[in-house]
Amino acid sequence: MSCPRIEIDLRKIRHNTRTIVARLKGRGIRVSAVTKAVCGNPAIARAMLVGGAAGLAEARLSNATRLRAAGITCPITLIRTPMLSQVGDVVSVCETSYNTELSVIAALAAAALRQNTVHGIILMVEMGDRREGIMPRDVGNMAQRVVGMPGVALKGIGANFACLSGIAPTEAKMRALSVLANDVEGRCGPFIETVSGGNSANLPWAFEGRATGRINDLRLGEAMLLGVDPITGEQIRGLYQDAFTLVAEVIETDANSARFADPKLARLRLVPDTSETKRLLLAIGHQDTDAAGLSMAPGNTFIGATSDHLVLDTKDASLRVGSEMKLQMNYSALMRAMAAPDIQTNLRYDRAPPNARDVDGSSKHLASV
Ligand SMILES: *Cc1c(COP(=O)(O)O)cnc(C)c1O
């Protein structure tokens, strides 16, 4: 098997999704599965759909197009405001998009009319993250404009938290979003099917047990893929944290290199030099992943990384040139590794699919995922 590679356990992703979907169902909230961190990988998307996600959500049109090319027909929502230059393809690939700019919505409407279809619009409201969104006081006006525009249909409103600012959504913010949904309906009529509360950072709020108001959707990626709360980094109870494993190959080991004979260099070592440890060089670096977001088995210490190398100290005497080493990734490391051209992905299923070569590209094996 080639190195470096990412081993992906689809059964664990399906389990994580199922667990979250079940817990949110009781709260009246459905899950839109976000595939951007895995570059719209169709097999992972299918595992999340089999796990009960109501639809898919993507930030990039290129990834959404990859999902469609693999035969996925479920609703796909573009969660990054469309580029004006892409509106035609947005309308043909995605049923719905999140929007903040009237000029873009008008262009989507024109494209939809040309394609003889209607494109769904969810208005993204700024509620404190300071990344994207319409100011709450302007949402009513904007909603009315959308409702009056042929070619588009107002589907809902949404908010996003903890991406740019790192500020977690509060109970009060969630209540304010519900009030806003009611206000918009009061003005425009019953168009607000979807009230999307945010991303994985909203799960503590959603699991808390208090009233969820009008919020009936969350857009979740990290929690299902990595089983952690994005703000605290803490494990979410009942979820797997190891659905993804990065495997890299050792290309050099040196137990007592002359490199450290120079005391000045020796001082630069970040860990005490004991005779039990040896230094390892792995063939993976900043160009492949976020090296600071990798973690490894006890007994190994991260020393540093360059564009193409990862330097470790290890107590594992069995590691030699040609050995493979397993690393766990945080969200940032995963996102970059999945996009790296030199890293292959290796999908694992709980049982062998009927025709392994077929699995990535067709939906007939859905049941085996
Ligand atoms: C990335 C993103 C999400 C998903 O975030 P996770 O932390 O992976 O759950 C949801 N909504 C928007 C708008 C995003 O950009």
Q: What is the mean pLDDT of the chain?
A: 90
Among 271, 366, 289, smallest CA distance to 329 is for: 289
Q: Is 341 helix (H, G, I), strand (E, B) or coil?
A: coil
175-to-10, 191, 206, 212 alpha-carbon distances in Å? 35, 19, 12, 8
Answer yes or no: is the C-beta of 221 below 6 A from any ligand 1 atom.
yes
| Cα four-point dihedral sign 56, 59, 65, 67 | negative
Answer yes or no: is the C-beta of 122 below 6 A from any ligand 1 atom.
no
Residue from 21, 44, 196, 199 to probe ligand 1 pocket by mutation (most atoms less than 8 Å from CB): 199
Answer yes or no: is the C-beta of 120 below 6 A from any ligand 1 atom.
no
pLDDT at 351: 56
pLDDT tens for residues 132-191? 899 999 999 999 999 999 999 999 999 998 888 777 889 999 999 999 999 999 999 888
Answer yes or no: is the C-beta of 219 below 6 A from any ligand 1 atom.
yes
Instruction: Determine what percent of the chain is predicted with pLDDT higher than 70.
Output: 89
DSSP H or E stretch at residue 365: none
Residue from 160, 225, 228 to probe ligand 1 pocket by mutation (most atoms less than 8 Å from CB): 160
Is the separation of the CB atoms in 14 and 46 below 8 Å? no
Answer yes or no: is the C-beta of 222 below 6 A from any ligand 1 atom.
yes
Q: 152 CA distance to ligand 1 centroid (A)?
A: 24
Q: Is 169 helix (H, G, I), strand (E, B) or coil?
A: coil
Whose C-alpha lies nearest to ligand 1, atom 13?
79
Answer yes or no: is the C-beta of 20 below 6 A from any ligand 1 atom.
no
Q: 285 CA distance to ligand 1 centroid (A)?
A: 26
Using the structure block, give the residue that is written with the tokens 């039990």.
276
Least confident of 23-37, 255-269, 331-345: 255-269
Answer yes or no: is the C-beta of 128 below 6 A from any ligand 1 atom.
no
DSSP H or E stretch at residue 108: helix 102-114
> Could you tell me the pTM of the whole model?
0.90
Q: Is the pLDDT of residue 359 over 80?
A: no
pLDDT tens for residues 217-276? 999 999 999 999 988 889 999 999 999 999 999 999 986 555 555 556 556 665 555 567
155-to-96, 123, 227 alpha-carbon distances in Å? 8, 8, 30
Q: What is the DSSP letter of 73?
A: -
Q: Which residues have C-beta within 8 Å of that of residue 97, sequence separation ≥ 6?
A: 77, 78, 79, 81, 82, 90, 108, 119, 120, 121, 122
Q: Average pLDDT for residues 68-83, to the nearest whole number?
A: 98
Answer yes or no: is the C-beta of 32 below 6 A from any ligand 1 atom.
no
